[in-house]
Amino acid sequence: MAIGDLTRINTNIAAFNALNSLRSIGNQLGISQLRLQTGKRINEAADDPAGYSIASKLTSRARGLATALDSVGTSMNLLSIAEGAAQSIHDNLLNIQDLIRQATSSNLGSSERDAIEQQIDDLSAEITRLRDSTTFNGVTLLDGTFTGKRILTGAEASDTILASISQDFSLTDLGITDASIEVDTTTNASLSLTYVDAALTSVRLEIQNIGSVTSRLRSISDNLSVAVTNTQAAKSRVLDADVAAEQVNAVRLQILQQLATAQLAQANSGPQSVLALFR
* Domain locations in the chain as residue ranges: 13-39+241-278, 62-238
Does domain 62-238 correspond to CATH entry 1.20.1330.10? Answer: yes
Q: 110-129 b/e with 16+ CB inside 10 Å = b?
A: eeebeebbebbeebbeebee
Beta strands in the chain (DSSP E): 135-136, 139-140, 146-152, 160-165
* Residue 5: pLDDT over 60: no
Digit-coded pLDDT (tens) for 163-182: 999 999 999 999 999 888 99
Least confident segment among 11-25, 203-217, 245-259: 11-25
**% residues pLDDT > 70 (the chain):** 92
As a whole number, mean pLDDT of residues 252-277 equals 78
What kind and span of H or E run contains 231? helix 186-239
What band does 263 get if pLDDT is binned at 50, 70 and 90? confident
Whether the CB-CB separation of 39 and 260 falls below 8 Å is answered with no
**pTM of the predicted protein model:** 0.79
